[in-house]
Structure 1
Amino acid sequence: GFAGTCYAHYYGPDNRPFLPRVWNAGSRHDRIDFRWDAILRDGVYNYSGYDDLVEDDLAAGIDLVGILWATPAALRKPGCIVTAGAEPAERPAGWYAPQVGALALSPTLSDQGACPPAGLYNSWSPTNFNGNHWAEFVYKTALRYRGQVRAWEIWNEVEWSFFWLGTEAEYAQLLKVAYQAIKLADPTAPVLFAGLHFWADPTYFERVLDIINDDPAAAANNYFFDVMSIHLYSRPSTVYDITLHIRQRMRQYVSDHPIWLTETGVPVYDGPFPGVHSEYAAREVEAASYLIQSYANARAAGIERYHWFRVHDDSESMGAEHFGLWHTETYTRPAYTAYQVATSYLLSPTMVTHWTYSNGVRRVTFWGTPRGKVSVLWSNLPQQATYTESAILSSATLVDQRGGTQTLTPVDGLYTVTLPPATATRKDSNPVEYIIGGEPYLLVEADSTPPPPVTMVSPVAATTYSDTIMVSWTPSSDASGIWGYDVIVKVGAAPWTQWRSFGQSGLATTVPYTDVVHGQTYCFRVRAWDRAGNRVEWPQTTRACTTIDLDREVRLDVNAVMGNPGSGPLTPLTNVSLRFVDGNLADAVPPTVGGSWHWNVTLMAGDYALWATPAGWWSPPPGWLPLRLPITVPPGPTTLTLSYPQLVLPAHRHSYWLPIAMRP
């Protein structure tokens, strides 16, 4: 599943009220800390508390992402000094969602587990950890929860000194050791890069990736991580923009990796349990809008996992920041219902498209969902906006962030939606800056039935005697109309590959395929897309295959070569050079000299020429002129016979001389 949360396991054994609630909301993943300093006590590994937690989450149908971090005090790197303190209740200015390039200030305090571990560079094995305490912790933990904890994240927000007091090189080594240990213990578990705070130091992850790229073993080990993990808050536009930036920069150093949004949210400052009104805080109803907008933008950006931070407020204090879907289990915020709306309607799309219009409207369309075609719409500007969309069905459902619905009927083929203005502003911004769009609506056209399978018409012959294969199929029909057709091709034993997308093919049902090689076999499959984005699955048995044969058996019979003097009888010639050349003027058949020529050979289809050159050419008249006879050999299954009872060379009667002026 796409949707997850953070810290749904509270409060403790026999008291985890949030697990069934997040499952009912559509969450299937929980992200929790596996603190090393909580597991290793007095030199002894004790997992009893975590065993209960893992068992309870799995029993509730929730998979786990475990964050491995927090060095025990006794195992800190020598010289690492921690000025310990609690995570600050309110972050410094610009902390959550500044514009790109703005600075964020780091607090001076650190978590007591923020030091790099000692022995991090020691070589090790599962039977001899050789003082590499980090390798021992990661290996033992991953092995203990093999098949139970589905993914492991290596530390948290290492750009921020509250969580990490090491260098970029030390984090690269920490990640490498963890990756190797986890893959030995549980090869199927994805390993996540530490969740990027990003704003604390926007190029920190690049510096780490640059170090990893220089490691000779990195490429063979997926650069020591399987997933890039990111944290983005309070401004839904950054969930799209910054994700694309991180992906683009990541590709400069390592291969492309999936991206998971393992923390996102916005603190709230109103309601019966308000938190502090920090710079990027919002009202409860605006936080619900943020949830749907960030969820849609995450899909648009290609993010593969979405985790809301967090399930409940981790502090009862009104002076702290409150992110929770709940305050406690007795008070549910509007964002919980918005989460249900997102997971109910914005699931399993065949594709996602998006656009921001000049009037400030943002549209993210989920095509081919189990609900049909769903467009998420909101205004980014502080004024009401109107959006129109062409209808594909006779009616649609409009869904608000509270789950309320109404039926829309198109007028002149168009749906019209009025969108509320943006109201969430950054505290004390001048000029006023709107960080979250207005309340979103979901426009749902409920065609979720894919078109019927496509029947191939051609090619039907086992062999194609042409350099072009005409690929044809019968047209499909569908309630919302056919959008186009995908065509894939299999060349020989190679895998199936995309040849034409539905956007390229449109409604055409016959397309020429010309990228052929003699002797190769080509197979084709076709599927239809409808205008709601539904597509039929690729047919597993229905396909059309053909083998290209561009050879042709050719028989040449030149019975006689004669000279034509212009008057009188033809003169037999017996000493003529005879050649059959291809388009590059190379001999396609061994040449001969004589007065006749007979052969039977296999040639590739193409353009050729028969040359007959009299003996002694070039010579002054009298004599005979050469003959150049163009011949096209088309492909085909039968023998092509070229029969010439007589090749007649014309007489050579005149020579033409050009005057040459000589200068002294």
Structure 2
Amino acid sequence: MRLRLTTATLARFLTLLFVLLPLGLLRHDTQEVRAEPEQVIKLYLPTMRQNHPLQPSIFGAEINISHAEVAQKGRAANLYWTRYNGIRWSEVEAVQGVRDWTQVNAESIELRYIVSKGLTPIVVVRGTPNWAQLIPGAACGPIRAEHLDAYADFVGEVVTRYSQHPYNIHHWELGNEPDISIQQLAGNGNSMFGCWGVEGDPYFGGEYYAEMLKRVYPAIKRADPTAQVLIGGLLLDCDPTNPPANKSCESARFLEGILRNGGGNFFDMVAYHGYVFWANNRVDWSQHDSNWQTRGGAVLGKLNFIRQMLAAHNISKPVILTEAGLLCHESTTCPVAEFEADKANYAVRLYSRAWANGLQGAIWFTLDGPGWREGGMLDAAQNPRPVFTTVHFLATRLSGGTYVGQDSVGSREGYIFRNAGRTYRIYWTNDTSSTTVSLPTGALVYDKYGRQMFPVGGTMPVGFDPVIIESAN
């Protein structure tokens, strides 16, 4: 059949196309945020349609205080992922068979804030009600076998409710650090940590967690076939194949237990956590984590272990880092200026390494402040800290781009990315040494905050603080 395109038809088509285009993406609002007391940065914020996410990227942060201001800051930073912890079964169904969804009204409002800013939530589902607890008093712990189907039904209803407008949520994380035992929590069964771990069990309770996955995963997929199911973010305390002195690392066998019991067919992504603690001795904080140092540190060492476990069971699944950051240890005094500057430094390392090593995302803990052990991107008044400025700069330049390759020599670590016709080379050293790199013709050089630097002589010194070099492809 031949179609004849008249001038009138063409005019109607163009008019319709103009109306349907997301014109908000072409306009910009402005907002000033302060990253440091002496520095004012003007951010240009795209006006987005509701539930229209950014181009998928590595950049994310957890939100624990999700009022409109914090969610807007996540949007301002150009984050893609945000983790939200969470929806609790123990609140909704405190009485068996009676589900009171008004108990999560506050959570629903917060999730609407997050989604309305174009962020992509990963929602944690946790909390075992008293009547379903395998370990009495342990809401963070495993579910009695006879109630696993009730839990599956509950999670299926959660997904049905929140996969639709106005939420459109499709990523679900089952528990939070389930590879912890109730003994490790000193009996605190209401902890935000999970406590599915079983001390003395060869696989630390992972096999029973797999039984839960076998019930819950099909229920989630029935409710939303597009849903992505994550294993509860694994703590992975230390390397069981090379344990530090005086540590057994038995809890890290939890993942192996899941896989041995056939759980590999009942999740879509492995989630894990990788924190590091600040020290002022100018060595890379992650690489020198004593619990994972022999494998490459708290982030890449754990990732290496996870992939080794998956490969040993002939399973290939994406991996995502759902909690990470640079923290001030409770036994350490962290000078504010140095600590905050180093959080910005570490953010460059974290997101660059995560992207280069094929992670689906890296989620800083937390966006809101002050955060656990002062780790937040925002301060207690929810104003941006220096790390926020760094993440905003990186995400704005790199989101939607591609990873090209590594450019590391000796103590210098470097990664190359491309986006929108530009090449970005990111370099730093992992100790007090320094080196130089040659600059491409016409290159622009930035420090970790995105402030332009002006090197002379066609080379750029590289030290412990990262530098970002931008040039034409």
TM exceeds 0.5?
A: yes
CA contact (8 A) 2:370 2:378 kept: no
Q: Displacement, 1:6?
A: 4.2
Query: Aligned match of 2:419 in 353, 358, 369?
Result: 369
* 1:154 and 2:163 are equivalent in the alignment: no
Are the equivalent residues in 1 in contact too, given 2:273–2:322 (CA < 8 A)?
yes
Counterpart code for 1:291: A
Write the letter of the residue equivalent to 1:299: W
**Alignment-derived partner of residue 389 in structure 1:** 438
Distance 1:120 1:57, change over 3 A: farther
After superposition, what is the alpha-carbon deviation per residue over 1:529-585, rounded to whole angstroms, capped at 9, x for unaligned? xxx3xxxxxxxxxxxxxxxxxxxxxxxxxxxxxxxxxxxxxxxxxxxxxxxxxxxxx
The 5 Å alignment of 1:255-270 reads: 255-268=315-328
Higher strand share: 1
Residues 582-638 of structure 1, C-alpha deviations (whole Å, 9 max, x = no match): xxxxxxxxxxxxxxxxxxxxxxxxxxxxxxxxxxxxxxxxxxxxxxxxxxxxxxxxx
TM-score by length of 1: 0.51
- The aligned residue for residue 171 of structure 1 is 209
Other-structure match for 2:350: 294
Secondary structure, aligned partner of 2:399: coil
CA shift for structure 1 position 4: 4.6
Alpha-carbon spacing, 1:207–1:20, altered in 2? closer, same or farther (3 Å): closer
**In structure 1, what is the equivalent of residue 65 of structure 2?**
10
Cross-structure match for 2:247: none
Say whether 1:63 aligns with 2:86.
Answer: no
CA distance 1:35–1:75, change in 2 (3 Å): same
Change (3 A) 1:299 1:17: same
Shift in alpha-carbon separation, 1:10–1:330, aligned structure 2, 3 A: closer
* Cα distance between partner residues in 1 of 2:333 and 2:273: 18
Secondary structure of the structure 1 residue equivalent to 2:449: coil
RMSD: 2.7
The letter for the 2-side match of 1:350 is: T
- For residue 292 of structure 1, give the secondary structure of its aligned residue in structure 2: helix
Aligned to 1:575: none
| Equivalent position SS for 1:44 | coil
Report the residue type matching 1:405 in the other structure. Q
State the partner residue of 2:302.
242
Taking the aligned partners of 1:39 and 1:312, their CA distance within structure 2 comes to 26
The answer for the alignment partner of 2:396 in structure 1 is 344
Q: Does structure 1 residue 398 correspond to structure 2 residue 440?
A: no
Alpha-carbon distance change, 211 to 441 in structure 1, aligned in 2, over 3 angstroms: closer
Tell me the distance in 2 between the aligned counterparts of 1:227 and 1:54: 22
CA deviation string 1:89-141 (max 9, x = no partner): xxxxxxxxxxxxxxxxxxxxxxx52221123576xxxxxxxxx2211221111
1:44 has 2:61 as partner: no
Please give the alpha-carbon distance, in whole angstroms, between the structure 1 residues aligned to 2:92 and 2:314.
33
Amino acid at match of 1:364: Y
**2:132 matched residue in structure 1:** 75
Q: What amino acid maps onto 1:386 in structure 2?
A: T
2:355–2:403 Cα contact (<8 Å) kept:
no
Change beyond 3 A, Cα 1:74–1:121: closer
Match of 1:119 in 2: 145
In the alignment, does 2:462 pair up with 1:442? no
Matched residues, percent identical?
21
Counterpart residue identity of residue 75, structure 1:
A
Change (3 A) 1:214 1:276: closer
Q: Tell me the SS of whatever aligns to 2:123.
A: strand
Closer, same or farther: CA 114–310 of 1 in aligned 2, 3 Å: same
CA shift for structure 1 position 227? 0.8
The answer to whether 1:419 aligns with 2:462 is yes
In the alignment, the residues of structure 2 paired with residue 242 and residue 146 of structure 1 have an alpha-carbon distance, to the nearest angstrom, of 31
Q: Counterpart in 1 of 2:87?
A: 34
Report SS of the residue matched to 1:324.
coil
CA contact (8 A) 2:130 2:136 kept: no
Residue from 313, 322, 338 that aligns with 2:374: 322
> Residue 21 of structure 1: CA displacement?
0.8
Query: Are 2:155 and 2:219, in contact at CA under 8 Å, matched by a contact in 1?
Result: yes
- Tell me, in whole angstroms, the C-alpha distance in 2 between the residues paired with 1:264 and 1:67: 16
Q: Which consecutive residues of structure 1, in runs of 5 or more, have no partner in the other structure?
A: 83-111, 123-131, 270-274, 421-437, 448-531, 533-664
Q: Give distance in 2, aligned partners of 1:313 and 1:169.
A: 37
Shift in CA distance, 345/244, structure 1 to aligned 2, threshold 3 Å: farther
Change (3 A) 1:379 1:17: same
Shift of 1:397: 0.7
State the TM-score, normalizing by the size of structure 2. Answer: 0.70
What is the rounded CA distance, in whole Å, between the counterparts of 1:189 and 1:262 in structure 2?
17
How many residues end up aligned between the 2 structures? 363
Change (3 A) 1:278 1:245: farther
- Displacement of 1:54: 2.4
Query: What is the one-letter code of the residue matched to 2:436?
Result: Y
**DSSP 3-state at the match of 2:406:** strand
Q: Which residue, 336, 340, 345 being the options, matches 1:284?
A: 340
The residue type paired with residue 452 of structure 2 is: T
2:359 equivalent to 1:303: yes
- The AA in structure 2 aligned to 1:353 is G
Greater RCO (Cα-Cα under 8 Å, separation 6 or more): 2
> Displacement of 1:307 after TM fit?
0.9
Which has more helix, going by share of residues?
Answer: 2
1:47-74 Cα deviation digits (max 9, x unpaired): 4233322222221212211111111122
1:240–1:375 distance in 2 versus 1, CA, 3 Å: farther
CA distance in 1, matches of 2:195, 2:318: 24
- Partners in 2 of 1:371 and 1:419 — Cα distance? 25
Describe the SS at the equivalent of 2:445: strand
1:312-363 Cα distance to aligned partner (Å, 9 max, x none): 2366xxxx611111122354211111111221223333333124322x1111
Greater alpha carbon shift after TM alignment, 19-28 vs 400-409: 400-409
Retained in 2: the 8 A contact 1:345–1:371?
no
Q: How do 1:92-241 and structure 2 match up within 5 A?
A: 112-119=138-145, 132-147=149-164, 148-161=168-181, 162=185, 163-166=194-197, 167-199=205-237, 202=240, 204=251, 207-209=254-256, 211-215=258-262, 223-234=265-276, 235-237=285-287, 238=297, 239-241=299-301
Which one has a bigger Cα radius of gyration? 1
Tell me if structure 2 keeps the 8 A contact 1:396–1:407: no
Q: Deviations over 1:245-291 (max 9, x none)?
A: 3213211114211111111101248xxxxx76279x97110111000
Q: Which residue of structure 1 lines up, in the alignment, with residue 281 of structure 2?
A: none
Contact 2:206 2:257 in 1 (8 A): no
Aligned to 2:233, the other structure's residue is in SS state: coil
Q: What is the alpha-carbon distance in structure 2 between the residues aligned to residue 72 and residue 389 of structure 1?
A: 61
Q: CA deviation at 1:25?
A: 0.5
Structure 1 pair 21–276 and aligned structure 2 pair: CA distance change class (3 A): farther
CA distance in 2, matches of 1:311, 1:292: 16
Q: Deviations over 1:417-436 (max 9, x none)?
A: 2123xxxxxxxxxxxxxxxx
CA contact (8 A) 1:276 1:321 kept: no
- 8 Å Cα contact 2:159-2:224 kept in structure 1: yes
- 2:209·2:258 contact (CA, 8 Å) conserved in 1? no
Amino acid at match of 2:269: V
